[in-house]
Amino acid sequence: MAHPGPAAAAASLALPIAALWIWQRSWWPLLVFVLWALAVMAVVIAWQNRKHKERCEKLLAHSQQSAIRTLSHHRHDWMNELQIMYGYLKLNKHDKAIEVVDRIRTRMEKDSRMSQIGHPALATYLLSFRTFCDSLRLEVDVQDGLQLDKLPMDAERLSGTIIGLVNVIRYRASVPTYGENVLRLGMGLDEGRLKIVMRYSGELAAASTVTEELEKCLNGTGKVTKGIEPAEQAQQERTMVIHVPLPA
C-alpha cells in the first residue's frame, strides 16, 4: 500500500484546524490537532527517509555497474596481452614476450598512480573513462607520488577542474575519418605549480575555441600557457600546457 506524500499529509491538517475553529471552547480539538500534527510529522520523516534510501540504492547500483564495466574492460585488455605473450612464447620469441610483460607492468604502474591520486571521484573518472566514452582514447600519466589531497589547494575543486578539462576535449572529439582520437594527459608538480599537459591527436569540433573553453574551465585557478590552434576539424597534433599555481 502506498504511503501518502508529504503534501497530502500536510493538507490533511486542515481537518483538525477546522475542528479547532468550530469547537473553540472545547479541549479535545486541540488534543486532536497536536496528535494529528505529530502523525503528519512522522509521515513526512518516513517519506524523506524512504526517498533518501531509494537515492542511495540507485547511486550504489550505478557505482557497482560502473565498477563491473571497468573491471570487464581491464580483464579484456589483460587477456589480450596474455594471449599475445603466449603466442610469442610458443614461437620462442622470448624478447617479444618480455616486451609484453614490460608493457603490462608499465600500465599497472600507471593505473596504480591514478588510483592513488588523492581524490576518489577523479580516480574513478580516469580509471573508468573507457567505459563511458568511445569517441577517444585517454592515456594518463600521473607523476609518482602526486596526491591532490596533499596539495595546499581544495582537492574537490582541483579534481572537478581536471575532469572539466578532459571533458572539454571529450565533448568536442569528432568521429575520426581514419585512425582514432587520442588524448594523452600528464600531471605532475613543477616548480611549485601543478603542471597539466594535454596532448591531443585527432579531430575536434570548433577546434579554434578549445583554449578559450579550457580557460573558462580553469576559472582563474590556472592558465593555458601554450596551445596549438589548428584549423577547425583538422586531423593533427595539438599540445596544451596548463600551470596551476599552488599557494605557499
Q: Where are the domains of the chain?
A: 119-248
Q: What is the pLDDT of residue 79?
A: 86
Whole-prediction pTM:
0.72
CB–CB of 139/180 below 8 Å?
A: no
Q: What is the pLDDT of residue 1?
A: 43
Q: What is the pLDDT of residue 226?
A: 67
The CATH class that applies to domain 119-248 reads alpha beta
**What cell does 146 get?**
602526486
Q: From first to last of its 248 residues, what are the pLDDT tens digits of the chain? A: 445 567 777 777 777 777 777 777 777 777 777 787 777 777 777 788 888 788 877 866 766 676 677 777 777 787 888 899 989 899 999 899 999 999 888 888 998 999 999 999 999 899 889 888 888 999 999 999 999 999 998 999 999 999 999 999 999 988 877 778 999 999 999 888 899 999 999 888 887 888 889 999 988 888 887 655 555 544 568 889 999 988 87
Q: What is the pLDDT of residue 144?
A: 92
Q: What is the pLDDT of residue 230?
A: 53
Q: What is the pLDDT of residue 234?
A: 47
